[in-house]
């Protein structure tokens, strides 16, 4: 038994499909590799940022402690200066031992801005002051700036006193500005972080948000909003533990950046795009292949009909000549049948490629007439039976020449499958909407994997044959009669049932 496939590109189709699949899988794997690396890089950046925040928080804490120490020392020096002035005022004029000491304390003040006034606020002198204050006559001319100064009363005789106004030194003021800037930049570092990902810092219980960055503040207005956000961030990545001054153990929670989130969908987008192109390419290729097959079918059919025309005309002429020579009538009758048959075959081929005319025909009569013709031209060991099965209406819209061709192909295939010895049963059946023709033989049968292969052009199990009969029969039923032709059932060694399904 010989199986032949003509013009089959199935192997190449599978090769191209496998290559496309390998390329697609490689693209997806590489995309996942990039996503994994980006995710690790984001976590590394968040870790570095968290370490920087911890370090900066420690620095802020140390600076604040240092600032408090300086502020306390400034206060002590101002108090000491005031006391020294008070001692100078209270000391007897002949106290040569203590007065120089207190005067030395007063003169050594080179940092604390001070203003000495009488009890009416008139300025007697200034120390370490600059700008327009040096031109003032009364302390009240300072206006709102007077509140920047602390004051001490220096009594010198009974209820008479002077007042010393002092404030923090310029060094201390500058230092406080630097500390404020440092604290402000610390919080800005949290809000605008180098990690470039949404970040929140929670307390040790992971229930409250201490600070956040790259997050819309409107999303964390209530405690419920905060809890939802914390829960969502915990589901995204493992938190990073840090220790902050005045806060203790805290946790840095973050989620993936928008770029990484978009990249996660990139492989799926790739897959969809490749799939769309693959489907479009397959459809275009299939359409082109079907168009090419149609052109081949049509071209071959038209050429066959053209080639048959001349010998048929000649045979018809010879038939008429033989009748005039008193040839045996029974012989001439069979010759006329064969000539008519050839003419029918030529008409079949001529109708391929054009829209055939469908008219109401009696299906049973078409089949029975063909069986009568075929029976005398096949092996006497093959019997063909037609069962009407009480079908009431056999009239369907068909093209007689093409439909008869289908029956002929199916019957001849059955004869070949039985090696010229067996029974072919043609059952006519009907349902509410469909009409069925089952052709059963007692041949070799076919395997289930060949149910669809036998309808592909070029596939044949015969030593001689082109594998075009069944594909052409199916095309006639499907394309021209809007029906179906398929293998209903088959058993190896017992036979096959082919079914034609037509709409009533």
What is the DSSP pairing of strand 382-387 with strand 422-430? Answer: parallel
Helices 10-90, 99-107: inter-axial angle, 10-degree rounding? 150
Here the tokens at position 397 are 């819209």
| Domains in the chain: boundaries | 181-258, 356-503
Query: Could you tell me the CA-to-CA distances from 227 to 32, 74, 107, 253 in Å, in that order?
Result: 31, 46, 61, 13
Spatial distance between the Cα atoms of 353 and 10, rounded to a whole number of angstroms: 26
Spatial distance between the Cα atoms of 421 and 432, rounded to a whole number of angstroms: 36
CA 143 to chain centre: 69
Spatial distance between the Cα atoms of 104 and 321, rounded to a whole number of angstroms: 159
CB atoms within 10 A of CB 208: 13
Low-confidence ranges of the chain (pLDDT < 70): 1-13, 60, 74-75, 78, 81-110, 156-158, 179-180, 182-196, 245-246, 293-294, 296-298, 301-303, 305-306, 348, 351-354, 462-466
State the pLDDT at residue 3. Answer: 46
CB atoms within 10 A of CB 460: 22
Model pTM score: 0.45
Dihedral angle of Cα 182, 187, 188, 194, to the nearest 10 degrees: 110
Enumerate residues 6+ apart whose C-beta is below 8 A from 121.
Answer: 138, 139, 140, 163
CB atoms within 10 A of CB 329: 9
State the pLDDT at residue 91. Answer: 60
| Mean per-residue pLDDT over the chain, rounded | 78
Least Cα distance to 435 among 382, 378, 362, 370 occurs for: 362
| pLDDT tens track for 201-231 | 888 888 888 877 778 888 888 888 888 888 8
In the block, which residue shows the tokens 């010879």? 318
Please give the CATH number for the structural domain made up of 356-503.
3.30.565.10
* C-beta separation of 122 from 137 below 8 A: yes
């Amino acid at each position: 038994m010989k199986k032949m496939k003509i013009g089959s590109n199935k192997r190449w189709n599978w090769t191209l499909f496998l290559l496309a699949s390998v390329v697609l899988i490689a693209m997806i794997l590489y995309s996942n590799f990039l996503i994994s690396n980006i995710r690790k890089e984001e976590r590394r950046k968040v870790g570095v940022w968290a370490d920087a925040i911890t370090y900066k928080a420690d620095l802020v804490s140390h600076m604040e402690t240092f600032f408090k120490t300086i502020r306390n020392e400034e206060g002590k020096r101002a108090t000491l200066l005031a006391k020294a002035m008070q001692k100078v005022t209270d000391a007897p004029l002949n106290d040569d031992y203590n007065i120089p000491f207190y005067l030395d304390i007063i003169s050594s003040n080179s940092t604390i801005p001070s203003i000495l006034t009488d009890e009416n606020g008139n300025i007697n002198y200034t120390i370490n002051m600059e700008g327009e204050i040096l031109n003032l006559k009364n302390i009240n001319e300072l206006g709102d700036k007077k509140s920047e100064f602390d004051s001490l009363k220096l009594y010198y005789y009974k209820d008479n006193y002077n007042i010393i106004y002092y404030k923090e030194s310029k060094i201390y003021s500058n230092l406080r500005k630097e500390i404020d800037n440092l604290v402000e930049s610390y919080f800005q570092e949290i809000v605008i972080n180098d990690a470039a990902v949404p970040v929140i810092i929670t307390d040790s219980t992971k229930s409250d948000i201490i600070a956040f960055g790259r997050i819309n503040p409107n999303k964390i207005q209530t405690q419920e909003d905060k809890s939802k956000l914390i829960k969502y961030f915990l589901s995204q990545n493992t938190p990073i533990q840090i220790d902050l001054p005045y806060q203790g153990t805290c946790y840095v929670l973050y989620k993936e950046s928008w770029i990484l989130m978009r990249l996660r969908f990139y492989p799926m987008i790739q897959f969809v795009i490749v799939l769309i192109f693959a489907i479009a390419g397959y459809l275009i290729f299939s359409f082109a292949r079907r168009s090419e097959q149609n052109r081949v079918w049509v071209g071959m059919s038209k050429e066959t009909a053209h080639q048959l025309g001349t010998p048929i005309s000649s045979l018809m002429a010879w038939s008429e000549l033989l009748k005039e020579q008193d040839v045996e009538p029974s012989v001439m009758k069979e010759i006329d049948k064969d000539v008519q048959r050839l003419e029918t075959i030529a008409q079949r081929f001529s109708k391929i490629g054009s829209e055939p005319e469908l008219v109401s025909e009696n299906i049973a009569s078409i089949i029975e007439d063909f069986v009568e013709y075929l029976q005398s031209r096949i092996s006497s060991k093959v019997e063909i039976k037609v069962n009407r099965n009480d079908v009431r209406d056999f009239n369907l819209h068909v093209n007689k020449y093409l439909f008869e061709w289908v029956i002929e192909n199916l019957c001849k295939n059955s004869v070949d499958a039985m090696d010229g010895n067996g029974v072919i049963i043609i059952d006519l059946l009907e349902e509410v909407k469909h009409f069925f023709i089952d052709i059963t033989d007692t041949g070799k049968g076919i395997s289930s994997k060949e149910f669809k292969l036998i309808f592909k052009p070029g596939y044949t199990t015969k030593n001689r044959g082109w594998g075009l009969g069944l594909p052409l029969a199916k095309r006639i039923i499907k394309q021209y009669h809007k029906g179906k032709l398929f293998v209903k059932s088959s058993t190896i060694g017992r036979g096959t049932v082919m079914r034609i399904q037509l709409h009533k």
